Amino acid sequence: MNIYKLEMKLNRKSLIIWSISIFLLIAMGIQKYDAMIYNSSDNGAEFLKVISTMPKSLQALWGISNIDITDPIGYFSLLFFYLSLMGVIYAATLSINIIIREEKEKTADFLLSKPVKRGKILKSKLLAAASNIIIINAFMTLSSIIILKNYSKTYFPKEVFICMFGLLIIQLIYMSIGILLGILFKNYDKASKLNIAIILFTFFLSIIIDLIDKAKFISFLTPFKYFDAKNIVITNSLNIKYIILSLTIILIMIFISFKKYDKKDSNN
């Protein structure tokens, strides 16, 4: 029984649906850039004037604070604000489903009764989750590069690659959290609600940090601030301390997951 191949097959439909949704988000976002800035008679001056009159809180909520959205890569950093949220929700939801599916479909007893060690089962599921996340991240990267290329002759996709690699790390953080939640909670609704609560809390915390300069010292509490597109566009690099912190979180979550899954009793 190849658990990895089975999980890849079971999650194929979800991967396709999410990929289409993300492509539509990118396409609609770029269409707005085309209409309001790129092909506008004033090169977006009127649009920028409207934005400048918005409260700082609203600018932060929309992800348009402190960026030049008339520049294609600057506008991409705005899109990245929303892409990161979708990418994280996909990663977290996938990881919970991939663990709790057996409980929902009443196949846990059958799976765990097979001559396969629990560690190997979890390893296969973890690899399947990571593979799906890498695929959708690659899809987002290529879609962004292809679409943005139409709006800048001097554009080079280095910034997009760096942003998307940062997003991949963030996705893996939430994947590892989702895996652990799926193991700790057999009830899908409880695990899913806590999962969404964690995502929303960290997402809105990142907005609060954008609003309040003095709150930047708590950036380590939200992965959404680890690899901020606005900073990446300026520095063309990822913050090494957040890479280390991210890997530490992922490894700790996965380590605990293996420990808990090894003791998991499907009859409880």
Confidence of residue 216 (pLDDT cuts 50, 70, 90): confident
Lowest-pLDDT range, 52-56, 141-145, 199-203, 217-221? 52-56
Q: What is the pTM of this model?
A: 0.86
- What is the model's pLDDT at position 43? 62
Rounded distance between C-alpha atoms, residue 141 and residue 153, angstroms? 18
Dump pLDDT digits (tens) for 154-192: 556 788 899 999 999 999 999 999 999 999 987 888 888
Q: Which residues are CB-contacts of 166 (< 8 A; sequence separation ≥ 6)?
A: 226, 227, 232, 238
**Percentage, residues of the chain above pLDDT 70:** 76
Q: What is the mean pLDDT of the chain?
A: 83
pLDDT of 124 strictly over 80: yes
- What is the model's pLDDT at position 169? 97
